[in-house]
C-alpha cells in the first residue's frame, strides 16, 4: 500500500501540472548539500564534538558536492521528502499519507530510500528488493525510455548515503539543539545504513574515515 501511494505521487501527481508549490522547489545541489552539512554539523561536530582537520574538511566537502551533483543530474519527479512509516497511517483499511508540506521535485530514489531504509523499521533485504521490484513494475509509465536498473541502483545507493546521513543529522539535532533524547536510539542503525552504502564507493573513503574516526560507530548515543 505504501508503494502504491508513492507511485501516485511520482506518477499521476507529477504529471498533473496544476498550481502546486512542489513544482517550484526542488532537490538541487544547494538543498542536498544543506542536508548533508546538517548531518555533519549536528552529529560529527555537534554532539560528537569532533574537529576536522583542514585537509579532512576539504575532502568531505568534495565528497558531499560530488554526491549532490550526481543526484541533482537525475530526472526529477515530486518527492514527498519524509516518506517513512511514521507519516503513513491506515484508516478504514486505506493508506493515508501525512506531513507532505515539504514536497518538492527530486529523484524518485529519495522517497524510496526514506521508506525502504526507514530508521524506524528494519526491513530485510529480501523484502526491500521485492518492494523495489514492485515499484519499478508500477513505475513503467513514467520511467525514462533509457531506464537502466544498474543506474537506478547506483543512484539508490548514493541517495542512501545522502538521505540517511541527513536523518542522522536530524536525530542528533533534536538532542544537540534542544536536549531531546528520544531519537538518539535510531542513530547507530542509521549510521550502519550509511556505511553499508559507502562501502560501494571507494572514492568516498574520506567520508567513511570521518564517521569512523569521530567515534560515531562505537558511541552509545542513548547514554548521552
> What pLDDT was estimated at residue 197?
98
> What pLDDT was estimated at residue 205?
98
- Residue 58 is part of which domain span? 2-223
pLDDT tens, residue order, the chain (224 aa): 999 999 999 999 999 988 899 999 999 999 999 999 999 999 999 999 999 999 999 999 999 999 999 999 999 999 999 999 999 999 999 999 999 999 999 999 999 999 999 999 999 999 999 999 999 999 999 999 999 999 999 999 999 999 999 999 999 999 999 999 999 999 999 999 999 999 999 999 999 999 999 999 999 998 88
- Measure the CA–CA gap between 172 and 51, rounded to whole angstroms: 16
Closest listed residue to residue 164, CA positions, set 193, 136, 198, 142: 193
Buried b (16+ CB within 10 A) or exposed e, 202-219: eebebbbebbeebebeeb
- Residue 36: all three cell numbers together: 548533508
Closest listed residue to residue 160, CA positions, set 125, 204, 129, 190: 190
- Measure the CA–CA gap between 184 and 224, rounded to whole angstroms: 9
Question: Domain holding 39: CATH number?
Answer: 3.90.1200.10
- Measure the CA–CA gap between 180 and 215, rounded to whole angstroms: 21
> What pLDDT was estimated at residue 79?
98
- Measure the CA–CA gap between 138 and 136, rounded to whole angstroms: 5
Beta carbons within 8 Å of 50's beta carbon, 6+ residues apart: 44, 210, 213, 214, 215
How would you classify the pairing of strands 77-79 and 88-91? unpaired
Q: Are the C-beta atoms of 193 and 156 separated by less than 8 Å?
A: no
Buried b (16+ CB within 10 A) or exposed e, 161-177: bbbbbbbbbbbbbebbe
Q: Is-above-0.85 flag for pTM?
A: yes
Number of structural domains, the chain? Answer: 1
- What does the DSSP assignment read for 145-178? TT--HHHHHHHHHHHHHHHHHHHHHHHHHHHHHH
> What pLDDT was estimated at residue 17?
80
> What pLDDT was estimated at residue 108?
98
Beta carbons within 8 Å of 133's beta carbon, 6+ residues apart: none
Closest listed residue to residue 195, CA positions, set 125, 117, 112: 117
Q: Are the C-beta atoms of 180 and 99 separated by less than 8 Å?
A: no
Give the count of beta carbons closer than 10 Å to the beta carbon of residue 33. Answer: 18
Amino acid at each position: 500500500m505504501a508503494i502504491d501511494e508513492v507511485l501516485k505521487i511520482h506518477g499521476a501527481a507529477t504529471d498533473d501540472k496544476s498550481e502546486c508549490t512542489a513544482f517550484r522547489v526542488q532537490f538541487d545541489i544547494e538543498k542536498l548539500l544543506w542536508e548533508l552539512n546538517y548531518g555533519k554539523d549536528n552529529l560529527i561536530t555537534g554532539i560528537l564534538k569532533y574537529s576536522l582537520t583542514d585537509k579532512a574538511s576539504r575532502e568531505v566537502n568534495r565528497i558531499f558536492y560530488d554526491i549532490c551533483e550526481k543526484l541533482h543530474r537525475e530526472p526529477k519527479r515530486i518527492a514527498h521528502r519524509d516518506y517513512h512509516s511514521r507519516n503513513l497511517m491506515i484508516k478504514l483499511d486505506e493508506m493515508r499519507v501525512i506531513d507532505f508540506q515539504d514536497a518538492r521535485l527530486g529523484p524518485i530514489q529519495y522517497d524510496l530510500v526514506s521508506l525502504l531504509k526507514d530508521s524506524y523499521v528494519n526491513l530485510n533485504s529480501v523484502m526491500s528488493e521485492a518492494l523495489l521490484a514492485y515499484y519499478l513494475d508500477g513505475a513503467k509509465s513514467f520511467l525514462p525510455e533509457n531506464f537502466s536498473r544498474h543506474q537506478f541502483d547506483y543512484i539508490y545507493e548514493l541517495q542512501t548515503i545522502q538521505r540517511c546521513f541527513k536523518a542522522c543529522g536530524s536525530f542528533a539535532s533534536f538532542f544537540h539543539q534542544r536536549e531531546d533524547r528520544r531519537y538518539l536510539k535510531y542513530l547507530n542503525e542509521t549510521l550502519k545504513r550509511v556505511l553499508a552504502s559507502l562501502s560501494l564507493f571507494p572514492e568516498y573513503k574520506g567520508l567513511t574515515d570521518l564517521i569512523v574516526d569521530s567515534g560515531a560507530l562505537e558511541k552509545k548515543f542513548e547514554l548521552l
